[in-house]
Structure formats: C-alpha cells, structure tokens
Amino acid sequence: MTDATHYDSIIIGAGQAGGPLSTALAGTGQKVALIEQEHVGGTCINEGCTPTKTMVASARVAYLTRRGADYGVHTTGPVTVDMVKVRERKRAIVDSFRGGSENRIKSTEGVDLIMGAASFTGPLSIEVKLTDGTTRQLRAERFFINSGARPDSPKLEGLETINALNSTSIMELDKVPEHLLVLGGGYIGLEFGQMFQRFGSRVTVVQRGAQLLPREDADIVEEVTKILQEDGLEILLKSAAVRVEAVGPEKIKLFVKTPTGERVLEGSHLLVAGGRTPNTDKLNLAATGVELDSKGFIKVNDRLETNVPNIYGLGDVKGGPAFTHISYDDFRIIRTNLVEGGQASIKDRQVPYTVFIDPQLGRVGLNENEAREQGRHFKIAKMPMTYVARALEVDETRGMIKAIIDPDNNQILGITILGLEGGEMMSVVQMAMLGKLPYTVLRDAVFAHPLLAEAFNNLFTGV
C-alpha cells in the first residue's frame, strides 16, 4: 500500500477516550489521525450524559413546580411541558459541548480529524470511507479503538412494524407521549421513565427480572421501586414482552407474559431500554486478528492491550462498565503508560456511578450482595434520609444510605446512597476510600451545618 498515508498513531472514535488521547499523543510530537464516523464527543456528549441530564433537569423543574404548594408557593393553572423547548435546550447544550471538543482537536497541531467510517485492511492499516463518498488508505505504528457502542434491539415479534424508540430517538420527540411503555428496568429505562412521567406521560415499565436495577441490593431497589410508584409509574416485574403490534396512529399493543398471565398493554410509544451492542461489526477486525468476546466486545488486558501488539481497546467497545468516567480513565491509563512511561492498570480501580433518577442513586465499591459473594467479613451502616436535617429542610426525604464496613480495619468497602444529591454525597465517601481513611474519620468530622455531608456523622455512629 505505497499510496497509504502514514501516521504514528491512529485513533478510531472521537469519544471520551479518543479525543483527549489524540491531543496528548500529538503533544509528544506524534502525527495522529483521529477517525470519527458521526460526531465528536462520543455517546456521552451526543446521546448520553449531556442530553439526558439536561432533560432530567427540565423534568425536575416540572416536578417541583407541581409540588409548589408543599412549600407554600402557589401557581395558577396546570403545569404544562413544551417538549420542543425542552429539545431546543438539550440540543443547544449538546452543540456547545461538542463544538468545544471539536475545536480543541482541530486546533491541536499534529492531529488530523478525519470524518468517515474506518475498516481494517490489515493489522496496521485501515481504509476510511469519507463522508464525501471517497476513500483513503491509512497506516500507523499503533491503533487505538474507541468506537463505542449503540443501543441494542431485542428479538421481539412485531418490533419492526412499529416506530420503536431507543435511548437516542426518545430525546428527539416534539410532544409528550400519552402512554410510554418502557422495556427494561435498568438505569436507562428508569431515568427516561421517571423523566417522561414528570413531563406528563403515563408510564409503564416492563422488567423481565425479579427486581429493577439487578446489580443493586434488594432493600435499595425496594426503596427505588416505592419512589417510582409514588411518582405514578406502573412497574411490572418478572414480566416478558412477547410481541407488539400497531393498532392505529400512535397506538400500539404490547403483549406481556406476567406471573398472573398474559396482559395486553395499550400505549402510544414504546421505549426499548435494554443493553448495548459494541461498534465492532463494521471494523473488519478479522483482518487484524484482534479477539472479541461472544457479544462482540474487544478483549483487552489490564493495560488495555489487545492480543495483537500495538492495538488497544478503550471505552465502551471493550465491554465492562459503560461510563464516561471509565472511558476517560482509559485515556489516562494509556497516557500514563505510553507517554509518561508509567505502569498504570485498570485492575482494582474504583467504579463509581450515579443513576440519575430523582432522588439520585450513587454507589461506589461493594454493596451487601457483592460482599457476601466474596465471603467478606463486614458490618452494615444504614440510615433513612428522614434522619438527614438538610433533606428535611428542603422536604426531599425519600431514600436511604447504606455503607459496608470492614470491622477488622474500619475501612469503608462501599456505599450506596439513594437520596437528595446521592451522587455528590457518594463522592465524599469515595474520597475517604481513596485516601484509605477509616469510617471513624467521617463519623467524627466537623461538617458545616446544615449540609448533606453531616449525614455521615449519624450514619457511622454505633457501627
């Protein structure tokens, strides 16, 4: 391939790992090509964190407005939601974030941002089909695959006959659905379910498993379920969708097998909120010899190396926790090892996360189920949010806090916080865990009154 353009490094995918990696490598004097098929920023900026949390904020305003009388504030008339305005606000923030990322990349000397679809032609060569229809041949010494994942589509009879929504297309609706049916009780289904209930939809969540959020402890999920039901969501557990059919304009029937027999749900829209499929199917990785798992995710070791020398996998495409902060940490590991000469690894790294239902569910480290599975010796510190002064003052007392403690060394093994600003509260404990502080430090700390952090004084008393 004598006509191929040569680079030191080629990055496939301008997500939360690929974008910063391109500028970091260029900063060492490398010539870098960053290939992006759709848009800079990856899922996070374009279809994930940024747009969804923008819309969650709009839904929360609607919720608090309806609760105005609880605080002695009265409004006239019913609360209405302008979905076009909600969408415009979401799009504006997404465009701003994406534009900032794209400008940083384009202004970095040594980085060529190439818009097109990449496909390997050999272990260290690719063909890129550009957006203008032409193709380019590129070669490099090293490849970094950050091509991400996309919403999966379940095998459901009749699904192809309706205009089913996924986590991307639901954010482009221009009006509030009358009755939104949600397939899946994971964090995507619950965030959108509660969001659209607050916008004014009737919402039914169909979950195949025995509980929502299957990774969480049963007592936490019981509280989550109660909160969502209080908000008006219908939750169907141990229920499987059998088929769906269109019966008219914006009217569908979903046939569901439940523990008490088959139910027919009539709705206006169907959101498929299941898993995600890695974007590896069109990369022609067979030309490289890179190994994939049974679901198509790239196999990597603790240093993010594939089985093929000089090819790395970063972010969602390698499987595991599909979080923005994990993708960005993948970038930091590559930078540490290849730019700074370090020995960074993903082994045993903390994986904090927040489910942006309201109240938030933030977790880091082990929960009770995982501690038992590992045969750990542990104690539990648990407290309802009704014991938190700040939560009482703002009248948002739903939820609970649950920490797992190692009684032999007083280390905090993990914490789950379902409550007002649960993600932010979780981060306080994460800092203590990172510093290997015993729980007694938080128990005895002087926190400013009346902040949410004061809750840790009471939580850890009596452990």
Helix, strand, coil percentages in the chain from 3-state DSSP, rounded to 5: 35, 30, 40
Q: Are 423 and 355 in contact (CB under 8 A)?
A: no
**E-only strand ranges, 153-296:** 179-183, 202-206, 234-236, 240-248, 251-258, 261-267, 269-272, 276-278
Q: Tokens for 258, please give them.
A: 């439940």
* Burial (CB count <10 Å: 0-12, 13-18, 19+), residue 346: middle
Distance CA 37, CA 128 (A): 9
Beta bridge partners of 39: none
Which is catalytic among the residues 39, 179, 377, 449? 449
Q: Torsions phi, psi of 31, nearest 5?
A: -95, 120
Distance CA 76, CA 434 (A): 49
Amino acid at position 19, single letter: G
For residues 219-232, b (16+ Cβ closer than 10 Å) or e, as one string? bbbebbbebbeebe
Q: Are 232 and 245 in contact (CB under 8 A)?
A: no
Is 179 known to be catalytic? Answer: no
Signed CA dihedral, 383, 387, 390, 395: sign only = positive
**E-only strand ranges, 17-134:** 32-36, 111-122, 125-130
The secondary element (H helix, E strand) that includes residue 226 is: helix 218-230
Q: Which strands make up the sheet holding 179-183, listed edge to edge? A: 234-236, 202-206, 179-183, 269-272
Distance CA 244, CA 429 (A): 45
For residues 361-393, b (16+ Cβ closer than 10 Å) or e, as one string? bbbbbbbbeebeeeeeebeebebebeebebbee
Other CB atoms within 10 A of residue 46 CB:
19
The secondary element (H helix, E strand) that includes residue 9 is: strand 5-12
Q: Tokens for 383, please give them.
A: 């407290």
Active site residues: 449
